[in-house]
């Protein structure tokens, strides 16, 4: 691919040529980012973000050298930002481990339990009306027979609503990684 086609693809946002630009730079930028962050998958993500940023951006490049320098500088900057972020996360994890006294652990577990319950109630609110009523009464401690009597429906209908609700709630929790991790820490 020649210099003018690369610049044309980038400056004019020509989609048919953009794949060639991507292929032209991608491997080299991934290699460069990989040496900086020491994580090949992260390097690929960083480079993809940078190329997407260029594609969506308004900046025009006059020379191929200008574009190349821009991409390498952006790769360097994004890599350094990622490394700083990881260093910060590591520092906080170490601090959390150091503060891990029995009372802190109990407080942490209680906090996680409360957050898990809060999220569960949000999911319950998403259930269809009848299923939501059955689950809430069940949480209050009512038996299947008591729920059926209270709502004026059959015991089998209560069981069906509970079964469908639990299936939907489990599926919803699997979709939400945050709830999964909260449950993981809690149990």
- The structure's pTM equals 0.49
Tell me: the pLDDT tens digits for 71-112? 999 999 999 999 888 887 777 666 666 665 555 567 666 776
Buried b (16+ CB within 10 A) or exposed e, 38-73: ebeebbebbbeebbeebeeeeeebeebeebbebbbe
Q: pLDDT value at position 187?
A: 47
Kindly state the percentage of the chain with pLDDT values over 90.
Answer: 43
Give every CB contact of residue 3 below 8 A, 6+ residues apart in sequence.
63, 64
d(Cα 63, Cα 78) in Å, to the nearest integer? 23
d(Cα 22, Cα 55) in Å, to the nearest integer? 10
Tell me: the pLDDT tens digits for 119-135? 778 888 888 999 989 98
Torsion of CA 59, 21, 79, 35, to 10 degrees: -150
d(Cα 159, Cα 170) in Å, to the nearest integer? 16
Instruction: Confirm if 64 and 3 have CB atoms less than 8 A apart.
Output: yes
Q: pLDDT value at position 174?
A: 74
Kindly list the structural domains of the chain, giving each domain's residue range(s) and its CATH number in brackets, ordered by start: 3-95 (1.10.1740), 101-186 (1.10.10.10)
């Amino acid at each position: 691919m020649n210099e003018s086609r690369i610049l044309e693809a980038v400056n004019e946002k020509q989609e048919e040529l953009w794949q060639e630009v991507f292929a032209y730079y991608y491997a080299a930028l991934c290699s460069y980012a990989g040496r900086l962050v020491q994580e090949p998958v992260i390097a690929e993500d960083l480079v993809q973000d940078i190329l997407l940023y260029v594609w969506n951006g308004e900046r025009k490049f006059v020379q191929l050298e200008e574009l190349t320098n821009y991409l390498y500088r952006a790769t360097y900057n994004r890599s350094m930002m990622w490394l700083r972020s990881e260093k910060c996360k590591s520092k906080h994890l170490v601090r959390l481990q150091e503060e891990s006294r029995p009372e802190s652990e109990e407080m942490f577990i209680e906090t996680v339990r409360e957050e898990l319950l809060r999220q569960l109630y949000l999911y319950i609110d998403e259930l269809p009306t009848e299923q939501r009523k059955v689950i809430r009464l069940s949480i209050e401690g009512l038996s299947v027979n008591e729920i059926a009597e209270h709502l004026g429906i059959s015991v089998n209908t209560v069981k069906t609503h509970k079964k469908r609700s639990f299936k939907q709630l489990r599926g919803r929790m699997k979709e939400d990684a945050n709830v999964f991790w909260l449950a993981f820490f809690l149990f």
